[in-house]
Amino acid sequence: MFTLVSAFKLLTSLCTPSRGGSPGFTPYHVIEALKLLSREPLGRIGLASRLGIGESSARTLIERLEARGLIARSRLGVRLTREGLELLELLSRSIRVHDVDLGELSWGKAKLIVVKGVRPPAHLVEVYKIRDYIVAEGCREVMIGGFSQGTLVYPGMPEDIWRIVLAKTPREALEEETLHVITPAGKFKEAFNGIVRMVASQS
């Protein structure tokens, strides 16, 4: 059985650089591949096209997923195994992404990433620790907070901005013990990868 931490550790390990250099995919691509392969078998070319990565990267991704027992090959292509489906189910339960309009803050269209089971930051030091992982992936504009003990909290956020964020946060995102990360829509993938690597770093 996977836990969220072990699942994120697996995602990051699948993207570990080899002697030939870094693979052309990230944890975001791995999850998208799992979603695609849960719907229909795909070959290397089809997977590469759907994910927007090169065929050699798709080949490497398939080889690594197969080595971990997450996919199996067939004449129609590759498909998820039971373990692959279990991993995808956990990730689907644990991660929710909401569209948020933050035009009032000049961000315009933004993404709210909600991660269940990850304790939200209680103070600015914890915010900075999470932010460091996200910035390392190439996303510099980010708001980090969460919902805990019945309250939406973004440590260090000015009151006027917090009120806008509160008004824009969907009701279904207000679940206990959830991490909230808001980022411009164009930087969603980078922020997502940073969250995965942050959680995976936990012991």
Residue 14 has which token pair? 């699948």
Nearest of 152, 132, 151 to residue 142 by alpha carbon: 132
Give the pLDDT band (50/70/90) at residue 21: confident
pLDDT at 58: 95
> Within this chain, do residues 103 and 195 fall inside the same structural domain, yes or no?
yes
| End-of-domain residue from the set 61, 90, 119 | 90
List, for residues 78-91, the tens digit of each pLDDT value.
Answer: 999 999 999 999 99
> Within this chain, do residues 43 and 117 fall inside the same structural domain, yes or no?
no
List, for residues 41-68, the tens digit of each pLDDT value.
Answer: 999 999 999 999 999 999 999 999 999 9
Q: Three-class SS of residue 50?
A: helix
Number of domains in the chain: 2
> Within this chain, do residues 108 and 72 fall inside the same structural domain, yes or no?
no
CB neighbour list of residue 84: distance below 8 Å, 6 or more residues apart = 34, 37, 38, 65, 69, 70, 71
φ and ψ at residue 77, rounded to 5 degrees: 140, -155
Q: Are 38 and 80 in contact (CB under 8 A)?
A: yes
Mean pLDDT confidence for 174-185: 95
